[in-house]
Chains A and B, each alone.
Chain A
Amino acid sequence: MIKFIIAALLLGGVAGYLNANWASAVSSIWVSDYLLNASLMLLLFVMGVTFAMDKDSISKIRRTGLKILVVPLAIALGTILSGVVSALILGMNVIATTAVSAGYGWYTLTGPLVGQIFGAKWGALGFAANFLRELLTILTVSLMVKVDKYAPIASGGATAMDTTLPIIVRYCGSDALITAFSSGLILSLIAPFTIVAIASLG
């Protein structure tokens, strides 16, 4: 299954590159924005149907209750710690590096925001590092799920509510839908605040 996912990603990448640099057959926004959003919305609809038809998944959520917040908070804490460790390993500015990490994978937010605060070089790093988090999540999901049932959710960070959600549900099961979505949503909501808060420490 992962073979098809990688093939689709590569095919999309090559098609996007050729279209942007030579052909210009379609405005890239049609694919990278409209088609992406349409397929995402359709997926969420289908996953919602699958989830609600499964009686077990709802009772599982009921039993979990507020503990659902534990997952995104653990991810946020782990990610911020990892930013400090990365800065020490790479010998880079601790505040700026941690701010880059605190995008939790949401690269379209982190790139511009970090770039605005720390300058273009950090913006590029914020974009690339968070984009890689999403890409690595997609590529390693089948291994990740063997480590822990919720490992792909942790790995996906903020992207667990949209781009990596369908793959997470595919591997972790339908009952992981709400945990993944709410974790991604909470991380997306706190990402801009944590980035700005970390930046203000410098």
Chain B
Amino acid sequence: MNFALLVVPLIAGMLLGYFLREKRKTNLGKVTFGIILVLIFSLGFGIGSNSELLKSLPEVGLSAVVIASLAIVFSVVLVKVVRRTAGLV
């Protein structure tokens, strides 16, 4: 994934948002959620059509679950601890 592909729309959106600031508030929540569903659908589509990934899952599945779960737990704990000590909002 090309980083520019992500950064350019984000900055463009921010510029537009900045100029729209004084205008009346628009609620983009529903639009965002609709696009999220499209995104998640295409993510699932990529997984479903990746036969190599599906084949490897039963073989490495259990170790993968352990590695992924511990990575999540340790990251969450460290961020929580560091945020407390660094006083981040």
B88 touches A46 (CB 8 A): no
| Cross-interface CB contact of A47 among B10, B18, B43, cutoff 8 Å | B10
Check: A119 CB closer than 8 A to any chain B CB. Answer: no
Check: A20 CB closer than 8 A to any chain B CB. Answer: yes
Which residue in chain A gives the minimum CB-CB distance to B41? A12
| Cross-interface CB contact of A48 among B17, B31, B54, B63, cutoff 8 Å | B17
Contact with B along A116-147 (1 / 0, CB 8 A): 00000100110111111100111010001001
Q: Count of A-B contacts with CB under 8 A?
A: 301
| Cross-interface CB contact of A28 among B11, B15, B45, B68, cutoff 8 Å | B45
Give Cα A49 to B69, complex, Å. 34
Given A8-B37, A12-B41, A17-B48, verify A49-B17 contact (CB < 8 Å): yes
Check: A53 CB closer than 8 A to any chain B CB. Answer: yes
B14 touches A49 (CB 8 A): yes
A9 touches B76 (CB 8 A): no
* Chain A residue contacts of B70, Cβ below 8 A: 82-83, 85-86, 89, 101
Chain A's nearest CB lies how many Å from the CB of B53? 6
A52 touches B45 (CB 8 A): no
Given A35-B42, A49-B16, A148-B83, verify A124-B9 contact (CB < 8 Å): no
* Chain A residue contacts of B74, Cβ below 8 A: 78-79, 81-82, 85
Q: Which of A144-191 contact B (CB under 8 A)?
A: 144, 147-148, 150-151, 153-155, 157, 161-163, 166-167, 169-170, 181, 185, 188
Chain A's nearest CB lies how many Å from the CB of B13? 2
Give Cα A153 to B9, complex, Å. 21
| Cross-interface CB contact of A92 among B53, B63, B71, B79, cutoff 8 Å | B63
Given A16-B45, A35-B38, A41-B5, verify A48-B71 contact (CB < 8 Å): no
B75 touches A75 (CB 8 A): yes
Give Cα A170 to B40, complex, Å. 14
Q: Which of A1-50 contact B (CB under 8 A)?
A: 1, 4-5, 8-21, 28, 31-33, 35-37, 39-50
B88 touches A67 (CB 8 A): yes
| Cross-interface CB contact of B72 among A45, A108, A133, cutoff 8 Å | A133
Instruction: Name which of A8, A67, A128, A157 has the most chain B CB atoms within 10 A of its CB.
Output: A128
Beyond A9-B40, A52-B17, list 16 extra A-B contacts (CB 8 Å): A5-B37, A12-B45, A15-B48, A31-B42, A31-B45, A39-B35, A41-B5, A43-B35, A49-B28, A50-B13, A124-B52, A131-B47, A136-B68, A147-B80, A162-B1, A166-B39
Binding site for A on B (CB under 8 A): 1, 3, 5-6, 8-18, 20-21, 25, 28, 31-33, 35-54, 56-57, 59-61, 63-83, 86, 88-89
